[in-house]
Amino acid sequence: MSFTNPDLDTIRALLERVETIAVVGLSPKPNRPSHQVASALQSFGYRIVPVRPAVDRVLGERAFADLREVPGRIDLVDVFRAPKYVDAIVDTCLDLELPAIWLQDGVVNVPAAERALAGGMTVVMDRCIYRDYMQLFPGR
């Protein structure tokens, strides 16, 4: 089986229904892509939950060391980690029965993506959520 991203209509529907995004690997440094993307997502109205060990707060939100520690509902997990860490992240997402995972540009792990799909998750891989949002919702 070869992984194929959802079509743009499916991605649009995902971004329309999502409210809370857990950002795994969210850096507290404003010059980092994870910080810039999460800040933009926050400005679009999404609730951002930073998931990064050894950090108390990022973008004004309480940070958690692990997805398992996040209270409440998570609609989407946005991953800014190296591909070698994605297997464990997908395992956690499947254990928690989370509905969707987005692997940012350059984060490619086809076996993990296929496992997530087989587990019922919506999976987007090697795409930028910010860039897709700007393309799908111009003028918002």
Superfamily for domain range 8-136: NAD(P)-binding Rossmann-like Domain (3.40.50.720)
Cβ of 126: how many Cβ atoms within 10 Å?
17
Mean pLDDT (whole number) for 13-25: 98
pLDDT tens digit string along 42-93? 999 999 999 999 999 999 999 999 999 999 999 999 999 999 999 999 999 9
pLDDT at 139: 81
Cβ of 105: how many Cβ atoms within 10 Å?
15
Confidence (pTM):
0.96
Whether 2 shows a pLDDT value over 80: the answer reads no
pLDDT at 81: 97
Maximum alpha-carbon separation in the chain: 41
Q: What phi-psi label fits residue 51: left (phi over 0), alpha (psi between -120 and 50 degrees) or beta?
A: beta
Task: Determine the residue type at 79.
Answer: V
Confidence of residue 1 (pLDDT cuts 50, 70, 90): low
Query: Domains of the chain: which residue ranges?
Result: 8-136
